[in-house]
């Protein structure tokens, strides 16, 4: 007999939170708003309820969370060293295996594709809130 522990609602919330983080903090660093709108239309990192069933065990959910966090760490560094290329591909493959669309390759996040700091995306979180 084998005992398998189900993923928790907290893990599912974390996966959705990380997917949203890509849209608000990672994608605006590398892509224009028009590109990001296309990603939404193509359901990049969009997770439906039936996809949660694909990673319904604790181990599977943990693997998805870890892959997303690893990709975030690599992409937030800005200047992505070549040595992380294999790690990037491995984590994209893990997401793909779980049915999560992340159709990017390493070269799309190169230094030359980095959006200049003067660009302000509508997807970026507001730095402050205006109280009325």
Share of the chain above pLDDT 90, in %: 43
Share of the chain above pLDDT 70, in %: 73
* Residue in the block written with tokens 């943990």: 62
Confidence of residue 70 (pLDDT cuts 50, 70, 90): very high
Confidence of residue 131 (pLDDT cuts 50, 70, 90): very low
* Residue in the block written with tokens 């290329």: 85
In three state form, how does the secondary structure of 65-97 look?
HHHHHHHHHHHHCCCCCHHHHHHHHHHHHHHHH
User: Hey, what's the torsion of the CAs at 62, 66, 72, 77, to 10 degrees?
Assistant: 160
Is it the case that residue 123 has pLDDT exceeding 70? no
> What distance in Å separates the CA atoms of residue 57 and residue 91, rounded to the nearest whole number?
18
User: Hey, what's the torsion of the CAs at 105, 35, 69, 11, to 10 degrees?
Assistant: -120
Q: What is the pLDDT of residue 66?
A: 95
Q: What is the pLDDT of residue 121?
A: 62
Confidence of residue 102 (pLDDT cuts 50, 70, 90): very high
* Residue in the block written with tokens 């709108």: 37
Domain boundaries, the chain: 14-113
């Amino acid at each position: 007999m084998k005992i398998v522990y189900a993923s928790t609602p907290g893990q599912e919330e974390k996966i959705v939170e990380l997917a949203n983080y890509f849209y608000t903090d990672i994608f605006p660093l590398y892509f224009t708003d028009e590109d990001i709108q296309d990603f939404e239309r193509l359901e990049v990192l969009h997770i439906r309820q039936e996809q949660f069933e694909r990673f319904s065990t604790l181990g599977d959910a943990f693997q998805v969370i870890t892959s997303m966090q690893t990709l975030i760490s690599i992409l937030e560094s800005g200047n992505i060293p070549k040595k992380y290329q294999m790690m990037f591909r491995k984590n994209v493959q893990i997401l793909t295996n779980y049915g999560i669309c992340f159709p990017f390759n390493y070269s799309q996040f190169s230094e030359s594709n980095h959006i200049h700091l003067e660009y302000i995306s509508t997807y970026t979180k507001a730095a402050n809130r205006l109280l009325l």
